[in-house]
Every structure is written in C-alpha cells, then in structure tokens.
A = this chain, B = another copy of it.
Amino acid sequence: MLPLNNVTNTVESSKQLGIGKVVRYCVICGDKSSGFHYGVLSCEACKGFFRRGHNSEFKCKYMTPCVITMENRNDCKACRLKKCREVGMNKQPQSLQPAKVPIDPIQQDKLEFEWISQQIRRLYSSNYDYSSDRMRLMTIKDLQLENNTKTLQHFINEINSDITSFVLFLKSVPLLDDMTPEDKSILMKRHAFSIYVVRSAPAYTENGFLCMNGGRIAWQKFYDVYGELGIKMNAFATEIREMNFTESEIGVFVMLIMLQPIPVEDVVQTGFQNVSLLTETHTRFSKILNYQLTTRDPENRLFDKIQGLIEEVNTINNLHKQSIKLIETNITSFSVPPLFADVFGFLDAVLDDQTVE
C-alpha cells in the first residue's frame, strides 16, 4: 500500500484547497493535460490522436498488453486507442454525450509524481557526465600523475565541470521555478561537495577513480590527496551505488541534500531570502523520492535509508570545507576556474584568464 493512497493528504487535495496552480495530467499517457477532451482529462496529443483515429482499427503487435506512457505513446496505436476507449473517451455527435469522467485525485497525484520524475530524469541525464549512457561509451585510460598537485588539479577540473553541469540542471529543474537564482546559488554552494560526491559515485571503481573523460586515477593517488576524507568518500559512494538509484532518483536525492533546512545564522550571513519556499520545496521533493523508491521496490523500505545517507554526506561536506584550505593556501600552484573559486569561497586572486580545459 503506497503512502499516496491517503486521500486527505494528496497534492491533488491541497490543490482543491486552493494551494498552488492547478495542474492536471492526461489519464491516458500521463502528460500534462489541457482539460477535458471527448469526456476525459487528456493531453493535446491524446486528444489529437483520438480525433484522428477514433474509428480506426489497429492491431497490437506485442505479446503483453502495452502500458501507455508519455514516452511510448506512439509505439502502439492499438493499445493507445484501446486505452482512450477504456478511460471513457467517446465521440458522440452532441446528443447523448455521456458525463465527463470525474477526476481521480489519487490517480492525479500518482501521475504528477511520475511526470515530475520523468522531467527530472531527462534533465538530469542530459546534464550528467556519469549517466549510464555516457559511462558505456567511456574509454578508460590510466592517468600518470607525478605528484599530489597534479592529482588535485584533476579533481579541481572534475568538480568544476560537474558543478557546471549541475548548475544547468538547477536552472530548469521542476518545482524550483519560484526560487531566485541567488537563493539557488546559496544552497548549491553550501552543499557543493556533497553534490559532487553523490554525482560522482559511479566513478569509484575497483581499479581507481574514473574521471569524466575516462581518465583513471589510481586509488593510491586518490588517497594521497584526500587521506581520511577519501576513505569516507569511497565508502559513501559504495553505499550510494548499492541503492541502485535511477537517474531520476539521484536527481531528487541531490535536491534533498541541497534543500536541507538552513540554520538561522546562515540565513543572515548568506542573505538567503525565501525560507518558507525552501521548506515547502524540500517537502515536495521528499514526497517524490518516497514515491519513487516505494514504487520501485515496495518490499525494502529504501526511503528510510535516505536520512542516514544525507547525514553521512553532510559530514563529508563539512570535512571537505576544512581540507579545501589546502588549495587556498597554495592557490598559485593550481589553475582554479572562476566557478570553482566562487563556489568554494576563494575570494581573492583568481586570474581572469584561467581556463578550464
């Protein structure tokens, strides 16, 4: 039994209470709905499909009945049309036009979670160098690193590159439209290293740390630079991998890290503006991750492990804030890209002409 089935606590029900814009979803494919069409809450696409094809005869060529989604709706006209009919679409002239099929709030909530999950997956995957698609195409090559400075420089580049991608993700991530770029930036900076460690979890392989371009850093080199912290990072990455997160789930998980409550003193110090929006958004992402994990694996209570993971990565993030000073004190030995410097608070000399390869 999914937590969703509690009618009194659905997103849909809060909508009915007038909180937030009303967004409805197509009961055929789950895409955003543009209202009722042929008696059924449906999207423009399914509406057009039914208008064109309501009296066609298609034949499904698959063994098992197709489950229609936003992504596969064009794969089987037969099952799409069948679904249209099943959910009650009809094309009566005007006379005996049956009543609209009423809105099912629980279904709408489910569809909303799925719609958002899917948006996040697309967005996250296209701004993520360790996506399984790209991992497959990666050509691994061991890096020869003469000293710690070289190794650290590699990580500076890696982190800078990953944050650059993540910022693009943040720019369009759903449910965060109303947050100002400044607030987003403050939150991102607070948890930048956490974010990197989570996102780079697939890089921790048996034979070394995989850079995004396929370069592999031997564990010895890695530990030479990160020391004790490195051991924690590796252990944490393993726990993350063992969760078997989908890319959509990682996206939401990272949001949960970033959207943790911010202490009052930090609000003041950073000039963070909209605390209530932060709280609200955190709650919504939390519900989404809960839905995702419960749906994927109803047996194990995966969501229960999330809080522990977040605390663990918070620890790593804090430790890193101390060790980062190693770079700051030796700033002239490194080529530090502006974004990296900004994120980790190197206020002083960062040359303009420094470039990231």
Residues of chain A having any CB pair with chain B under 8 Å: 59, 61, 71-72, 75, 133
Contact = CB atoms under 8 A, between A and B. Distances in A.
Contacts of A133: 59
A59 B133 CA distance: 9
A59 B59 CA distance: 25
4 contacts: A59-B133, A61-B71, A61-B72, A75-B75
* Main SS class of interface, A: loop
A121 to B, nearest CB: 13
A82 to B, nearest CB: 13
Nearest to A72: B61
A236 B71 CA distance: 49
Contacts of A71: 61
Contacts of A61: 71-72
Nearest to A59: B133
A75 B133 CA distance: 20
A50 B79 CA distance: 30
A61 B70 CA distance: 14
A72 B60 CA distance: 12
Contacts of A75: 75
Contacts of A59: 133
Nearest to A75: B75
A138 to B, nearest CB: 14
A166 to B, nearest CB: 23
A75 B61 CA distance: 11
Nearest to A71: B61
**Leading 3 A-B pairs by shortest Cβ distance:** A59-B133, A75-B75, A61-B72
